[in-house]
Chains A and B, each alone.
Chain A
């Protein structure tokens, strides 16, 4: 009896201490992240145009949301975002896997490899975007020179004025910057796989490809899913890259949802409408995250068993 009381007392003290330690961080998060999110929700059901103060801030219910759903530019932006996410994540996961497999085999030059992986990831996206903007420039850019030299093109392509081609520098830049990081994540997953399993498979007569399919892939699934979740959510909120590389152009043909929201808010000063767009963006990414986490959770428990 006495020892249980003691234990419970200790537990309560520990819990109290825990809450003291946790409060500053959580308080900050509540204040600077969750409270504003609630406010965004509130703004989204009001009309709030900062250019037209005489209209006041009337409650409009679902008015902004209805406008968004009927706004072709909104749907285009969502489509652009989906397109970008789909393509870049696929390429990054695929290339990242290849890279990770190669890095797993590498025995020398580990430092150099790590540097090559980390530096592109660590620099500001703005800088990376500017580097690629320069390389894809139609006059001063090296890409056109290379393409011309190897004979793929006859004249300089003006990448940024063609709605279809403007995506190429965007995707190339994103892949360059983040594939190495994906490779890192997958490498960690690869290194967690017990070498003995490969040994056993080899003894059983499995080829390299079969080893890959039956040992590597299944055990790599958790890492793949983590990479998938992070990359998808990151790509979904893409802003810096496109703002600097194409500005959403030509016209609005590369404008993702984050940039359209930004323009509505800080260019057109339509805070009510922009807030509705923000909420929709948040909602979609939340649903995506929740879906993935459920898949992830399920797969993790499956993998463990």
Chain B
């Protein structure tokens, strides 16, 4: 459904708002349905959908192209978790205070990830969180520490399982999200103010742990270094792994006995802590923002507001299994029926969620970090040197961009 957004005369008095989004499968269906309902309730606003690529970097590139050209369309943007500060700092999206959004209703971490210079630039739509999948038939409860996780994994391997633990370790953004969770387990951070602190002792411990899991204890196969989310899912789904770290999307798939060998035999928990840290879940998901050059910001806000209401979030959870970002919904029995993941576990994991560094140059920082992390994990360089090099490059980038420590923009 490729809708041309101009050249169509709306009924007199109607404002036309363009909404780019995925038209695929369940997501596309529920979005279309919700927009239809919205248009019935708001007869003077017409929402035109625009097909955009599903791959995140392609969509990002398209947005950058449109926004940089100062196009007034699309009016609404569907942002990945890491794009908000970038677009906000470039002046491409509207700060939303003028619309008085009810920020307290959402999980604080999801709101904080969408702030830049203390102003809110996007509304969290649904949340994705990294979580630990564990085999309920192999152990009585989820491991409460990283050490316990490794022990259980080793034990499972000794008993004949192919892999102890699997995560996506190819050289891409996913690797950074995995690393983020290990980093949180040791109480570390990537960025603090404008200072890169990833090469701290906590960082070193986290990366060394990951490396040791592959080469010392062997609980993680080295093939993960070419895996993205799907290969990781296959490994766990075929019953070859005791633990998997992945996003929520595999949950309903693996619950289907027709395709999964572990249906009914797994559960989820946050990635556990090690020393000095806390259980950590990398935060992903989508947010809705308004084009700064939109000609109909009020109408655009009406759409955004509607789509992020509790009823719509519940419906979305039912159809696509995506986690709502409103806290109160997790007490609602309706959500328990909609989500395949048990509600209490989902809430616990979201409450341990940590965003990636909220900075406009996150994509470039991530590139640098990915390269060094992967080099360490493929043993081309040792963890200390790899992290030091990454930190130096990242800091240089931040300084060049006027985002280093002490600069006004560093105080996010």
Chain A residues with a Cβ under 8 A of chain B = 49-55, 266-267, 269
Contacts and interface: CB of A to CB of B under 8 A. Distances in A.
B277 to A, nearest CB: 33
14 contacts: A50-B90, A51-B86, A51-B89, A51-B90, A51-B360, A52-B89, A52-B90, A52-B360, A52-B402, A53-B89, A53-B91, A55-B401, A266-B68, A267-B61
B144 interface: no
Interface string B57-70: 00001001100100
B59 to A, nearest CB: 14
Interface in B323-357: none
A11 B290 CA distance: 65
A54 B65 contact: no
B68 A269 contact: yes
B61 A52 contact: no
B349 to A, nearest CB: 33
B309 to A, nearest CB: 33
A71 to B, nearest CB: 14
A50 B61 contact: no
A54 B61 CA distance: 21
A115 to B, nearest CB: 36
B263 interface: no
Contacts of A266: 65, 68
B409 interface: yes
Interface string B82-94: 0000100111000
Contact of A52 (B64, B65, B401): B401
B68 A50 contact: yes
Contacts of A267: 61, 64
Interface string B77-121: 000000000100111000000000000000000000000000000
Contacts of B61: 267
A47 to B, nearest CB: 9
Contacts of A50: 68, 90
Interface residues of B, number: 12
Interface in B222-279: none
B360 A55 contact: no
Interface in B355-398: 360
A73 to B, nearest CB: 13
B89 to A, nearest CB: 7
A267 B65 CA distance: 8
Contacts of B360: 51-52
Nearest to A55: B402
Contacts of A51: 64, 86, 89-90, 360
Contacts of B91: 53
A56 to B, nearest CB: 9
A285 to B, nearest CB: 27
Residue from A52, A266, A267 having most chain B Cβ neighbours under 10 A: A52
Residue from A49, A53, A54 having most chain B Cβ neighbours under 10 A: A54
A54 B64 CA distance: 17
Nearest to B409: A54
A266 B402 CA distance: 21
A49 to B, nearest CB: 8
Nearest to B90: A51
A82 B412 CA distance: 46
B174 to A, nearest CB: 18
Residue from B64, B65, B409 having most chain A Cβ neighbours under 10 A: B64
A52 B363 CA distance: 14
B89 A54 contact: yes
Contacts of A55: 401-402
Contacts of A52: 89-90, 360, 401-402
A131 B68 CA distance: 32
Contacts of A269: 64, 68
A54 B68 contact: no
Nearest to A267: B61
Given A50-B68, A55-B401, 14 more contacts: A50-B90, A51-B86, A51-B90, A51-B360, A52-B360, A52-B401, A53-B89, A53-B90, A54-B89, A54-B402, A54-B409, A266-B68, A267-B61, A269-B64
Contacts of B68: 50, 266, 269
Nearest to A266: B65
A49 B403 CA distance: 14
Closest 7 CB pairs of A and B: A51-B90, A55-B402, A50-B68, A53-B91, A52-B401, A269-B68, A53-B90
A243 to B, nearest CB: 13
A49 B90 CA distance: 10
A54 B65 CA distance: 19
A267 B401 CA distance: 17
B291 to A, nearest CB: 16
Contacts of B401: 49, 52, 55
A52 B91 CA distance: 9
A266 B65 CA distance: 7
B337 to A, nearest CB: 44
B407 to A, nearest CB: 9
Residue from A50, A51, A266 having most chain B Cβ neighbours under 10 A: A51
Contacts of A53: 89-91
Nearest to B65: A266
A262 to B, nearest CB: 12
